[in-house]
Amino acid sequence: MNLWLTRLKEPVPAGLETPAELARFELSRAFPDVQVELAEQSAMGEGYRIDPLPGGSIRITGGSTGVLYGAYRLILDRFCGETAAAVESAPKYALRMIDCWDNPDGTIERGYAGRSLFFRDGKLSWDPLRIRELGRLLASAGLNVLCINNVNVHFPAQLLLEDDLPALSALAEAFRPFGVRLMVSVDFSQPMRSGIPTADPLDPAVREWWKQTAGRVWAEIPDLAGFLVKADSEGRPGPFTYGRNHADGANMLAEAVAPYGGTVVWRCFVYNCRQDWRDTKTDRPKAAWENYAFLDGEFAANVILQVKHGPFDFQVREPLSPLLLGMKKTKLAMELQLAQEYTGHQIDLYTMIPMWKELYEELPADSIMSLAAVSNLGDDANYTGHPLAAVNLYTYGLLAWDPGTDPEEAVARWCRLTYGFAPAQEKALTSLLLSSRRIYEKYTAPLGIGWMVNPHDHYGPNPSGYEYDLWGTYHKADRNAVGIDRTEAGTGYLAQYPEEIAKKYRDPNTCPDLYLLFYHRLSYTFRMRDGRTLIQRIYDDHFEGLEETRAMAGALTGLPFPEPDAGVIRERMEKQLYNAREWCDIINTFFHRLSGIPDERGRTIYD
Ligand code: GCW
């Protein structure tokens, strides 16, 4: 299963040791008749230049991994029917990360594509062929860092830095020819496994333990990219236990890994996950800012703060996290989620690049220096469960290489490479994929409110499922109104933004519709700019979302997908149709029962 590389028929053989050797192999198989010369220039790093030469041969100039990226660019361009002009390219971000949430027992937290490709029965364990195939997929999408284990580091994942280090080193070696470096999620309290009574980041014994450990780890894996850390979040250990802040914690690890060129990627997903629903003072979206903004400028040079793109947690619609705008003296990575946790479990279609582009529109140039995305991969034959979910992995790679990537071109390129349909069919598939996010948004939670989902599993509707729970995710719908006022007059969340952004959202009469209920508490009779009442808009969106899903199902059935994709797509589309109907009817019924306001258009709402 070669996904978008279907036209590279031959598997990558074992024994290729460098990106240049791999590039030669790929080029010789893709174009047996074309002379391609590789010119390595180490100063070019991951960048490359492709020059057509007189007589029909081609030269690729690049750094040691640059020549490989250049080779894939040439191969994929030609497969797309594009030829010949000289091109030069280099990635915008040095770290283009995929974060796997794989556990040693082989399960994947929020995984929807089978089991782990790296772990089984408590140990690292992999199929070398599939690792080479995955390496090829990642490299051809320009991705270069793979964190293989869950940020929730459950035992025995700690052994990756202990007894399992030789196996980790062998896995790192397997990925090396693809220019992919491994990263490991670490347990902040791990020194305590060695009998140290504390994990206090300022304790000398703890600091020494991490230094020794880093020394051992990098001696085995000299190009390990670094450590990824989830601390003081959802029950994970962290510096708060010892009265220290997150700069103390991150800098301590940073000092340990610095001699080896390692990076500490420190997540900012920190909030009170034991909130009393009666407490109206705490507003969860404010948490990341409150925990980190005051530390701006305090982090070591090799620390990157990894910030989820929105202030909640990967909902279908959230504003850009204010932390990504307000920490100008700190290195930041934006964290996206390819795994479709809240976005349809790789059953429902949900192409993400339109959403990522919206985030980029609010993100000032150069405010982040890295992108990370939670993996949607697993050991299913097609790697992403739903064959069309692979578009998210591929287009994420394009965006991480070049944030200026055009969503439509990126999706069309993926379609062309994957299926090679006739132009009209390719156009149909491209536009269907591009519309899928908005359709999903319409039939699920209304106008930015989020969280009307089944608790824990996060698939399917449950409008009050999180309402009286501990997670800080409330909509407070009553018979008159819904939403939370997050302006300065309410919880004050909006004050975390620079004024030029805040002013776009402050007034419900000018706030963009799709963010309305994220920022405001409004009565059902509130008149929206298009003249509809809020409640009518909720009904309309839900009915439209369902109708559009039906239309999408019809359009998909008309496309000539090859087997086995065709069967999987059909079967998942059936499930999506069921899901869309459940969402539409349950959400509409929920609001109708509460408000007692009928649908102006008299459609069926179940009472
Ligand atoms: O919302 C939560 C997810 C958890 C995940 C967490 C995180 C890895 O439901 O499964 O844990 O986000 O991002 O740390």
Specify the pLDDT at position 315. Answer: 98
Our answer on whether the CB atom of 313 is closer than 6 Å to any ligand 1 atom is yes
Please state the separation of Cα 372 from the chain's center in Å: 6
Query: What is the best residue among 97, 100, 108, 110 to mutate for testing ligand 1's pocket, by most ligand atoms within 8 Å of CB?
Result: 110
Our answer on whether the CB atom of 110 is closer than 6 Å to any ligand 1 atom is yes
In angstroms, the CA 339 to CA 332 distance is 21
Count CA within 13 A, CB hemisphere, residue 308. 23
DSSP 493: G
Q: Which residue has the tokens 């306001």?
A: 597
Residue 331's φ and ψ, nearest 5 degrees, are -80, 130
Our answer on whether the CB atom of 312 is closer than 6 Å to any ligand 1 atom is no
In angstroms, the CA 307 to CA 310 distance is 8
Specify the pLDDT at position 404. Answer: 96
In angstroms, the CA 508 to CA 513 distance is 9
CATH topology of domain 19-89: Chitobiase; domain 2 (3.30.379)
Our answer on whether the CB atom of 339 is closer than 6 Å to any ligand 1 atom is no
DSSP 120: E
Which of the listed CATH numbers 3.40.50.720, 3.40.47.10, 3.90.1330.10, 3.90.1150.10 matches domain 420-484+521-607?
A: 3.90.1330.10
pLDDT in tens, 124-174: 999 999 999 999 999 999 999 999 999 999 999 999 999 999 999 999 999
In ligand 1, the atom with minimum distance to the C-alpha of 308 is: 13
- Would you say 36 and 27 are in contact if contact means Cβ atoms under 8 Å apart? yes
User: Is 313 annotated in the active site?
Assistant: yes
Residue-wise burial string across 503-526, b where 16 or more C-beta atoms lie within 10 A, e elsewhere: ebbbebeebeebbbbbbbbbebeb
In ligand 1, the atom with minimum distance to the C-alpha of 374 is: 13
- Structure tokens, 512: 């963009």
Residue 286 neighbours by CB distance under 10 Å: 20
Superfamily classification of domain 95-405? Glycosidases (3.20.20.80)
Our answer on whether the CB atom of 107 is closer than 6 Å to any ligand 1 atom is no
For CA atoms 312, 313, 319, 325, the dihedral sign is: positive
Active-site annotation holder among 133, 313, 380, 548: 313
Q: Which residue has the tokens 């920022």?
A: 519
Does this model's pTM top 0.75? yes
Q: Which residue has the tokens 């009666």?
A: 278
What would you report as the CA-atom Rg of the chain, rounded to the nearest whole angstrom? 25
In angstroms, the CA 27 to CA 149 distance is 33
Active-site annotation holder among 127, 234, 290, 406: 234
| CB-neighbour burial class of residue 495 (10 A; exposed 0-12, middle 13-18, buried 19+) | middle
- Would you say 95 and 333 are in contact if contact means Cβ atoms under 8 Å apart? yes
Q: What angle do CA 336, 339, 343 make, to 5 degrees?
A: 90
Residue 464 neighbours by CB distance under 10 Å: 13
In angstroms, the CA 566 to CA 154 distance is 37
- Would you say 94 and 370 are in contact if contact means Cβ atoms under 8 Å apart? yes
Angle between the N-to-C axes of helices 19-30 and 66-79, in degrees from 0 to 180, rounded to the nearest 10: 20
Residue 49's φ and ψ, nearest 5 degrees, are -135, 135
- Would you say 318 and 309 are in contact if contact means Cβ atoms under 8 Å apart? yes
- Would you say 203 and 197 are in contact if contact means Cβ atoms under 8 Å apart? no
Quick one: CA torsion of 418, 424, 425, 427, rounded to 10 degrees?
60
Please state the separation of Cα 368 from the chain's center in Å: 15
In angstroms, the CA 335 to CA 464 distance is 28
CB-based contacts of 33: which residues, under 8 Å, 6+ apart? none
| CB-neighbour burial class of residue 207 (10 A; exposed 0-12, middle 13-18, buried 19+) | middle
In ligand 1, the atom with minimum distance to the C-alpha of 152 is: 8
Our answer on whether the CB atom of 109 is closer than 6 Å to any ligand 1 atom is yes
Specify the pLDDT at position 517. Answer: 98
Residue-wise burial string across 6-39, b where 16 or more C-beta atoms lie within 10 A, e elsewhere: eebeeebeeebebbbebbbbbbeebeeeeebebe
In ligand 1, the atom with minimum distance to the C-alpha of 101 is: 8
User: Is 341 annotated in the active site?
Assistant: yes
For the chain, the domains span 19-89, 95-405, 420-484+521-607
User: Is 565 annotated in the active site?
Assistant: no
Strands (E), 81-217: 87-89, 95-99, 119-120, 123-124, 145-147, 181-186
Tell which phi-psi region holds residue 459, choosing left (phi > 0), alpha (psi between -120 and 50) or beta.
Answer: beta
Our answer on whether the CB atom of 152 is closer than 6 Å to any ligand 1 atom is yes
Q: Which residue has the tokens 């399992």?
A: 164
How far away, in angstroms, is 159 Cα from ligand 1 center? 22
DSSP lists the bridge partners of residue 119 as 124
Specify the pLDDT at position 602. Answer: 98
Q: Which residue has the tokens 């496309």?
A: 559
In ligand 1, the atom with minimum distance to the C-alpha of 151 is: 8
Residue ranges of the chain with pLDDT lower than 70? none
In angstroms, the CA 423 to CA 420 distance is 9
Our answer on whether the CB atom of 466 is closer than 6 Å to any ligand 1 atom is no
- Would you say 126 and 80 are in contact if contact means Cβ atoms under 8 Å apart? no
In angstroms, the CA 343 to CA 29 distance is 38
Q: Which residue has the tokens 């009518």?
A: 536
DSSP lists the bridge partners of residue 306 as 267, 333
Q: What is the DSSP string of 524-549?
A: TTPBPTTS-BHHHHHHHHHHHHHHHH
The SS3 of residue 36 is: strand
